[in-house]
Chain A
């Protein structure tokens, strides 16, 4: 089983809570979006317990840092840009998977009309890499700066990410004669109050007509071939790092930590 932790730390030096989260959940792959603080000091802290040896993985992607609890030989970048890194994970005795980590532009700096184009490009890149690697055992993690129901995620030419594992198991859908592969998006299960944690991973309110308050912009999407391997029905939003409360009044404690909550999930491979 491989456990992943995703957290947008908003450029803050959150070494202590990150170390605690990694230790508490026995994280194998740590994905930090908008990382802050010293990478070397974080590495030292992650390796402060005897018998642990995390490795930093060198990358051209400026907005994402990935640390792994296995030798660097088992993770290799196959495509990178300033906001995207695609790694192939080939652990001994297991089938290769593709880990796509991304930080898409915020709607604070991009219009909602332009945003879907980012998803179209992301989707195209993923499909190209999958074709090169000859498989679609792919996981997407990151701060997508969009909710699961937004057009870029749902549209066929975007990530084609459905809320239903049964629908995703059809593998593809065809629109206007073009065929697009599905992603399963387990994040839908975490929207609102029915999930085990808070109603989203990011809280934002503005004095305007449409206001969701909670957003689930930190996401994990998975191709249907891997969907059944998600442990515990998929990702969950974490609000504590051991005894450190990352929330205040139920929302992310932005002034002290990050305005995003971390996500954790495990894959039974």
Chain B
């Protein structure tokens, strides 16, 4: 019989105080609904495919029955770096850490193309009669 096999793990895993890309995106989805008083919502659809995690950030006007995918975020199990594909320009940005991810996201959400889409969704939703 071998000797008792020891627990080889470290005593703990260190800090897990990490904001995942998914959590950050979900917060933006909620914030958008609050800012537009529910007229335009964000939704996040997530999937795992092999070693990659993919999150689609979608702008939704339920009044219009219309959805627009604004961002596609992919990362592996380590969370960062995360790649952000911005659909209006089809450009891909890489964020090496949480702070860079938040900064890049803030820039993209405030980009003129994003604002134009959100404004158009709000305007059409307000026009839409029953």
Contacts and interface: CB of A to CB of B under 8 A. Distances in A.
Contacts of A46: 38
Contact of B62 (A11, A37, A56): A56
B126 interface: yes
Contact of B37 (A47, A57, A58): A47
A57 B126 contact: no
A39 B38 contact: no
Given A36-B129, A36-B130, A65-B130, A43 B65 contact: no
B126 A56 contact: no
A64 to B, nearest CB: 10
Contacts of A56: 38, 62-63
Interface string A9-35: 001000000000000000000001001
Contacts of A54: 38
A43 B34 CA distance: 11
Interface string A33-66: 0011111110110111000011111100000010
A63 to B, nearest CB: 9
Interface in B91-129: 122, 125-129
Contacts of A35: 130
A55 B38 CA distance: 6
A235 B59 CA distance: 37
B31 to A, nearest CB: 11
A48 B37 contact: yes
Contact of B38 (A32, A47, A58, A65): A47
Contacts of B61: 40
B4 to A, nearest CB: 44
A62 B46 CA distance: 31
Given A36-B129, A44-B38, A53 B63 contact: no
A169 interface: no
Given A35-B130, A36-B130, A38-B129, A44 B37 contact: yes
A182 B41 CA distance: 40
B38 A38 contact: no
A72 interface: yes
A39 B65 contact: no
Interface string B35-64: 001110100000000000000000001110
Which of A40, A55, A56, A65 has the largest number of chain B CB atoms within 10 A? A40
Contact of A39 (B33, B41, B63, B122): B63
Interface residues on B, range: 10 to 19
Nearest to B65: A58
A58 B62 contact: yes
B93 to A, nearest CB: 29
B62 A38 contact: no
A43 B130 CA distance: 12
A44 B126 CA distance: 9
A47 B122 CA distance: 14
B33 A53 contact: yes
A40 B128 contact: yes
Contacts of B128: 38-40
A53 B130 contact: no
14 contacts: A37-B129, A38-B130, A39-B130, A40-B125, A43-B63, A44-B37, A44-B38, A48-B37, A55-B33, A56-B63, A57-B62, A58-B62, A58-B63, A65-B130
Interface of A: 11, 32, 35-41, 43-44, 46-48, 53-58, 65, 72
Given A47-B37, A53-B34, A55-B33, 8 more contacts: A11-B130, A32-B130, A37-B129, A38-B127, A38-B128, A40-B125, A41-B126, A43-B63
Listed from nearest, the 9 A-B pairs whose CB atoms lie closest are: A40-B125, A35-B130, A47-B37, A40-B126, A44-B37, A39-B63, A56-B62, A58-B62, A47-B38
